[in-house]
Amino acid sequence: MNPLIHFFQKDGETQSVIQGIEAGMKEQLISGLQGSAKQLLIAALHQTLQRPIFVLTHNMFSAQKVAEDLKECLEERQVLLYPANELTTAELAAIDPEVQSQRMQTLSKLAQGFSGIVVSPYAGIRRLLPSKQVMSSARLHLKTGQEIELETVMQTLRDLGYERVDRVESPGQMSLRGGIVDVCPLIGEDAYRIEFFDDIIDSIRVFDTDDQRSKHKVDEVEIIPCKEIIADSKRFQNAAQSAFERMQEHLAKVTDANLKQKLEENLSWDIERLREGQQFQGLYKYISLLYPEKETLLDYFDQQSLLVIDEPIRLIETAKQMDHDEAESIAAMLQDGKIMPSLKFSKTYDSLLQNKPLPTLYISLFLRQIPNASPQNIVNYSCRPMQNFHGQMNVLKSEMERWKKNDFEVFVMTGTKERREKVRRVFEDYQIELPKIELMDLQSGFEFPSARIAVITEEEIFNKRQRKPKRPAKRIENAERIKSYTDLKVGDYVVHVNHGIGKYIGIGTLEVGGVHKDYIHIQYAGDDKLSVPIDQIHLVQKYIGAEEKEPKLYKLGGTEWARVTKKARSSVKDIADDL
């Protein structure tokens, strides 16, 4: 067992929290924890109680940091991150395929009874989702020798959000050639070739999406949805009818002729695509019609789960701001005739959390009153943040002597074995008694007097962050950096780091939430367009390729660009490993 988790488990304050949970307390307040001590407490609670834990933070940045620490404390498979955009109406635009993949992995595992820890920003809990019941049954399990109609397989894949193409090259695609179905799931490295003999699955083979060659056979495969909004034809038809009725009702109240025309054009086109059961950009605006159950991520957790709210005061402030921003965004879309009233995308903080749906722990650095909360147990840890030594080893040596005098156990956190050896050599060079050096890449250290432990990170010793290698910044081949939008002329091909190759079609000013901003506009495959704020021009690079050959435009929100960048990163990693 992780030694730091063990220290937390046997600490008296932690025992008080555990006893409160086991006694059925609905709310407890924990204060005083510094640095990564918070994440170690959550890990200790999970190890002790062996029940699902849902951690809510006020924003995505905090959620990522919490998830990273928890993955260091526990096995990585025990921790899931549910990413979400702070403005729910942004879901109407294209979603980054990698974000989509993370979400689907989390929802699919939760629907199947995941018992680990899920971390999400508040934005993730407020958005409406398909019901847990729908998600739990939304999967296709195939095995060699199974009797199943080929058309049933194709229809199920369509219902799971897979796009039919001539040749499968990217996650989220499927194809049919005679009695052979190719499919590339959103999650995992492999694509599968399923060959039928009448209504019997004759073989299942893994194949390479680049050269289309089969690699080896497998006995079975389970395919989960590739999109969050999954629905059968009945749900699509019901949503289309409801949208049509609401549109007619709304149009009868609109007096502005121009707005009325815009509304009818935009909404009629949406309703037609709903009737046909199509997946389209902006489908999320009809989430409340497709799923009248109006469930959220919170509904994916059973009553045995534990809810941990990190810095609740900040989270409540964030919730109020999000409600305000969303209302402004919806008002702007109503004015532009892009949406009808009464459609819901999210729930408010009060409707989600005021009734305390799960046993709740509030973790706050400072002891303060939380609105609409009545904690039955208040626990105050004595914990101090670790100082930054800035490479001053004599200062560290003095602290090490103080800790030794007070019977403290000292832990130094490093990210790799190589870094561990370097730390060991430095301590020996300065004749400092060796502490316990652990392979745990925590965000920050702390001093925990009641447990008599001190935890120091490499950054706090050397003032340099030595995190484990993360995904490198996206550097794109056949592209050059743009310093200003003036470097572009209409018709130039450009590459967006998240969405791939498109065509620059000009610059314009848009009003979003009452604020006017300059945007560059990029045309993608079909009628898809992307508007990128000028202050985010670093995400766009100018395409450089063979002059006689026009590049292929990518589909906005598609998965092919993610596959290309993933393969490039894999190649870079292989080269690095060789070096």
pLDDT band at 505; cut points 50, 70, 90:
confident
Q: What is the pLDDT of residue 529?
A: 84
Q: CB-based contacts of 257: which residues, under 8 Å, 6+ apart?
A: none
| DSSP string over 432-461 | PPP-EEEE---S--EEEGGGTEEEEEHHHH
Q: What is the tens place of the pLDDT at every residue in 140-190?
A: 999 999 999 999 999 999 999 899 999 998 888 999 999 999 999 988 778
Whether residue 559 is predicted with pLDDT greater than 80 in this model: the reply is: no
Give the single-character DSSP code of 26.
Answer: S
Selection from 86-95, 124-133, 278-287 with the highest mean pLDDT: 124-133
Calculate what percentage of the chain has a pLDDT beyond 90: 61
Q: Is the pLDDT of residue 467 over 80?
A: no
pLDDT confidence of residue 572:
42
pLDDT digits (tens, 9 = 90+) for 511-548: 665 556 778 888 888 778 888 877 677 778 887 765 55
- Is residue 567 over pLDDT 60? no
Per-residue pLDDT, 506: 82
At 298-357, the pLDDT tens digits run: 999 999 999 999 999 999 999 999 998 888 888 888 888 888 888 998 999 999 998 888
pLDDT level of residue 451 (50, 70, 90 thresholds):
confident
Residue 494's pLDDT is what? 87
pLDDT at 464: 67
Q: With bands split at pLDDT 50, 70 and 90, how would you rate the model's confidence at 231? A: confident
| Model pLDDT, residue 570 | 53
Cα–Cα distance, 380 to 471 (Å, whole number): 38
Q: Which of the residue ranges 41-55, 447-461, 559-573 would you say has the lowest mean pLDDT?
A: 559-573
Q: What is the pLDDT of residue 186?
A: 82
State the average pLDDT over residues 373-393.
93
Burial bucket for residue 111 (CB in 10 Å: 0-12, 13-18, 19+): buried
Rg (alpha carbons) of the chain, rounded to whole number? 27
Q: Is it the case that residue 277 has pLDDT exceeding 50? A: yes
| Contact between 386 and 445 (Cβ < 8 Å) | yes
pLDDT single digits (tens) 115-145: 999 999 999 999 999 999 999 999 999 999 9
pLDDT at 80 over 90: yes
| φ, ψ for residue 143, nearest 5 deg | -145, 155
